[in-house]
Amino acid sequence: SQHQILNMGRCRKKIGGRTYKNFSDHDLQRAVALVKNGVLSERQAAEQFGIPKSTINRKRNKKNLKPVGRPCVLSTIEESMLLDGLVTAGKWGFPLTSKDIGFIVKNYLDTEGRKEQRFKDNLPGQDWLKLFLHRHNDVLTVFLIF
């Protein structure tokens, strides 16, 4: 095809496409502080720190402060409660499989009357489960049964 595509698992990115955030949060905070204090202009800060001028302007004017992307399906409190339940079940001698975790989440969403569009019939898929386990790999242990 006309455009080359970089295929990384389930994520596809056009080669030469838009770069995303090639700077640290610390550099952004420093750049905004220097502009606010009048030490540097937005253009000078952009050149010095390698941050787009528009990004510095938005942060300085407190616009677009929400995190990028969709919100998580479960809030941090809900995930914490789920995690506590999984750990407790494991301590009581009832380790749960990823399929069990998926059905627990489905049951919770159904009980709450929430319809999650990203899940088929409110049942989380393998990607969500894999990312959930990865987010909490410090607490959860995965045993593979063959």
Which residue ranges make up each domain of the chain?
23-65, 76-135
> Which segment of 30-44, 59-73, 102-116 scores lowest on mean pLDDT?
59-73
Q: Which residues contact 53 (CB under 8 A, 6 or more apart)?
A: 42, 43, 45, 46
List the structure tokens of 134.
Answer: 């990865």
Question: How high is the pLDDT of residue 63?
Answer: 86
42: number of Cβ within 10 Å: 19
Could you give the count of Cα atoms lying within 13 Å of 46 in the half-sphere of its Cβ? 12
On the question of pLDDT at 144 being above 50, the answer is no
Question: How high is the pLDDT of residue 8?
Answer: 46
The stretch 101-107 carries a mean pLDDT of 95
| 90 or 111: which leads in pLDDT | 111
Q: Which CATH class is domain 23-65?
A: mainly alpha
Question: How high is the pLDDT of residue 103?
Answer: 96
Alpha carbons 135 and 107: distance in angstroms, whole number? 21
